[in-house]
Amino acid sequence: MEQSKVTQVFGITPNELKENILNDVRTELKTLVQHFQPVKPAEYITRKEAAKILKVSLVTLSDWNKKGVLKPYRLGNLIRYKRTELDEALISINSKK
């Protein structure tokens, strides 16, 4: 035998309850809209751009790829780097010195 759960509300009409719930939901939605931060797509840069940003040669860049200092992304024959990951790698390289 199933037991049903019943919640009784006293001192408020069904329409007042509905309006109170709707007002609270609208308030929360407005707060979410005000603080919404869209996700920015990753910016991919070329080997030459990465070498210029890091102020190293392309040979050093290839060496860092092999050592795992940088994480290259291959698109066919092209190699690209995420800008955010370059910034993080630069910070970790400087902190090791």
Q: How far apart are CA 47 and CA 81, in angstroms?
A: 7
Give the domain extent around 67.
Answer: 44-96
Q: Which two tokens stand for residue 42?
A: 């990753």
| pLDDT tens by residue, 42-64 | 889 999 999 998 889 999 999 99
Q: How far apart are CA 30 and CA 34, in angstroms?
A: 6
At 97, the pLDDT band (50, 70, 90 cuts) reads low
At 4, the pLDDT band (50, 70, 90 cuts) reads confident
Residue 83 domain-assigned (yes or no): yes
Residue 76 domain-assigned (yes or no): yes
Residue 68 domain-assigned (yes or no): yes
Q: What is the mean pLDDT of the segment spanning 70-85? A: 91
Is pTM beyond 0.75 here? Answer: no
Residue 61 domain-assigned (yes or no): yes
Tally of structural domains, the chain? 1
